[in-house]
Amino acid sequence: MNISFIGTGHYLPEIIQPNSQFEKSEFIDENGKAFESDNKEIIEKFQAITGIESRRYLEPHLNTSDMGFFAAQKAIENAKISAEEIDYIIFAHNFGDVRHGEIQTDLLPSLASRVKNKLGIQNPKCVAYDMIFGCPGWVEGVIQAKAFIKSGMAKKCLVIGAEALSRVVDINDRDSMIFADGAGATVVSATNDGGNILANVTTTLANDEAYYLYFGKGNKASDKDQTRYIKMLGRKVYELAVVHVPNAMAEAIEEAGVSISEVKKVFLHQANEKMDEAMVKRLYRKFKADAPDGVMPMNIKEVGNNSVATVPVLFDMVRRKQMPEHELNKGDVILFASVGAGMNLNCIVYRY
């Protein structure tokens, strides 16, 4: 029995926010002080490091669960199955539904239950639950789907990754330019002759690293202001990622029993262009090899970092030939890897 991706889908919001939109922002540091550099210089440095030129923001009338539903519909259609065949819906996110203009997160009911409701699934045995695992949530959801299928508890699982980070960013924090919105979904199924998950590795580093990403007060907040936003120790995250993610990928490759030369694509969490390039370079260095041209698809330039959605969105875009310079062929070995809040990181080796 193989465990395969039989369907994929994604949703990207229609609102495009180019870097130029931040030229009039009031960026200040965590101590409430203005930066010496003007906004144009801040934006230029930001773009040079992250590769981000624009990002997508969710339309005001929609929410994270809506995006997850749209992506799920496309994945189910692509899989050519009925939604009633799904045994588990695993929805990875971090902030729930946050309505436009509000500050409360809404997790009741779970986003997975909301998607099940929107899909009109009548089967009570279709179990729906949420996963809070930082940016690696979709990858970890696939790993859990694999476990359910191998154990005989399921035949088909719908795994969704979605986030509306534009609803939880501090507009006075220059790191807010990184974050974006989007959703990706996959149907994972037992098959006889499809692709197959060959190996997976997961790590949680929660000692000094636990709060590298956290919910904190705004940079311009008064003592009375209790609103919290997504915050990041960017340098710490970078230093952790470029060491531990290549280690996890190398461990998974060795566990899978494949050669680095067989790896055709590396689908990395779209967090930061320079960081992703460094992680892939270090991975290949571990095997005394050079990363081949075109091994790492990237869409961060146009869509930004939409957290748990980055990997499934990227995967679906390549499968749908929306990135003409990349293709997947039957038998290709590909990697999915991510790192994020917790600090969690993981990797899957998959034969397409």
List every span in the chain annotated with CATH 3.40.47.10.
Answer: 2-194, 198-351
Q: What is the pTM (predicted TM-score) of this model?
A: 0.94
Q: Confidence class of residue 60 from pLDDT cuts 50, 70 and 90? A: very high
Over residues 64-121, the pLDDT tens digits come to: 999 999 999 999 999 999 999 999 999 999 999 999 988 889 999 999 999 999 999 9
Q: What is the mean pLDDT of residues 326-352?
A: 96
Over residues 40-56, the pLDDT tens digits come to: 999 999 999 999 999 99
What is the dotted CATH code of the domain comprising 198-351?
3.40.47.10
Question: Mean pLDDT over all residues of the chain?
Answer: 94
The pLDDT score that the predictor gives to residue 216 is: 86
Residue 222 has pLDDT above 80, yes or no: no
Over residues 167-210, the pLDDT tens digits come to: 999 888 899 999 999 999 999 999 998 899 999 999 999 999 99
Which CATH code of 3.40.47.10, 3.40.50.300, 3.10.20.30, 2.40.30.10 fits the domain covering 2-194?
3.40.47.10
Kindly report which listed range (224-238, 303-317, 323-337) carries the lowest average pLDDT score.
224-238
The pLDDT score that the predictor gives to residue 215 is: 87
Q: What is the mean pLDDT of residues 342-351?
A: 97
Q: Considering the chain, what percentage of its residues have pLDDT values greater than 70?
A: 100
Q: In sequence order, what are the beta bridge partners of 184?
A: 10, 161
Over residues 14-36, the pLDDT tens digits come to: 999 999 999 988 888 888 888 88
Q: Confidence class of residue 223 from pLDDT cuts 50, 70 and 90? A: low
Kindly report which listed range (132-141, 218-227, 315-324) carries the lowest average pLDDT score.
218-227
Residue 136 has pLDDT above 90, yes or no: yes
Residue 219 has pLDDT above 90, yes or no: no
